[in-house]
Amino acid sequence: MAGAAVVRRHPFPTAKETGMLSDAQLLRVRIKRWTLLLGVLQVTVGCLIGFIPASAIQWYRGLVMAHIEFTANGVLMVAFGFLATEMTLSAGALWAWFALLQIGTWTNGAAGLVAALQGSSSPLMPSINELFPPPGGTANALVDGLLKTCGVTITAALLLTLWGLARRLRQAADA
């Protein structure tokens, strides 16, 4: 149909539209782009959290934690975004990697934000609790759950990254 508009289901132009990439390559490129975008978004969220006044929250140190964790994990996500096209993972493993990375990085900063807003933290933060005791105590189940989720998912994403990179190296050596 001459003059028909092309409707895209995603915000980024893809090389497949020009017929240059296989489905597996296209998936890696799309996941890379989304990982980069969400990483920059996470850094932005971390910076914006810095504008929350101390008077608006219950525990300032939790706010500092949220700021640091969102920005640091956003940078981590951007770095990992560049690895998305360097790994050899099946489509399912690549989607799992993406989901685990997103969940892990976002829950880390979210734990600090919840701690700041509720004024309580987790026993998983002994150093910060000792130096800056939260007014509401150290037994916040939500903060604890977010930190545990973060630890498990980021570790799983790291292991998938290592596996995908090792497979890529082995594949290159066999070629």
pTM metric for this prediction: 0.85
Q: What is the mean pLDDT of the chain?
A: 91
Tokens of 136: 């509401």
Residue 15: what pLDDT?
53
With respect to residue 27, please indicate whether it lies within any of the assigned structural domains.
yes
| Whole-Å CA distances, 60 to 66, 113, 124 | 10, 10, 18
With respect to residue 14, please indicate whether it lies within any of the assigned structural domains.
no
**Any idea which residue has 């219950």 for tokens?**
58
Segments in 50-140 forming alpha helices (H):
60-83, 91-118, 126-131
Calpha distance 69→61 (Å, rounded): 12
With respect to residue 91, please indicate whether it lies within any of the assigned structural domains.
yes
Residue 19: what pLDDT?
64
Instruction: Report the largest interatomic distance among the alpha carbons of the chain, rounded to a whole angstrom.
Output: 69
Task: Report whether pLDDT(6) > 60.
Answer: no
Residue 24: what pLDDT?
83
* Residues 110-136, mean pLDDT to the nearest whole number: 95
The enclosing H or E element of 34 equals helix 23-49
User: For position 82, which CATH number holds?
Assistant: 1.20.120
With respect to residue 124, please indicate whether it lies within any of the assigned structural domains.
yes
Query: What percentage of the chain has pLDDT greater than the value 70?
Result: 89
* Beta carbons of 138 and 123 less than 8 angstroms apart: yes
With respect to residue 126, please indicate whether it lies within any of the assigned structural domains.
yes
Calpha distance 149→124 (Å, rounded): 12
With respect to residue 15, please indicate whether it lies within any of the assigned structural domains.
no
Give the domain extent around 115.
23-174
Task: Report whether pLDDT(14) > 60.
Answer: no
With respect to residue 11, please indicate whether it lies within any of the assigned structural domains.
no
Residue 173: what pLDDT?
86
Tokens of 19: 């017929």
> How many domains does the chain fold into?
1
Angle subtended at Cα 25 by Cα 22 and Cα 30, rounded to the nearest 5 degrees: 120
Angle subtended at Cα 24 by Cα 19 and Cα 26, rounded to the nearest 5 degrees: 50
Phi and psi dihedrals of 91, rounded to 5? -60, -45
CB-based contacts of 4, cutoff 8 Å, min separation 6: none
* Residues 18-46, mean pLDDT to the nearest whole number: 90
With respect to residue 113, please indicate whether it lies within any of the assigned structural domains.
yes
Helix (H, G, I), strand (E, B) or coil at 148: helix
* Residues 26-49, mean pLDDT to the nearest whole number: 97
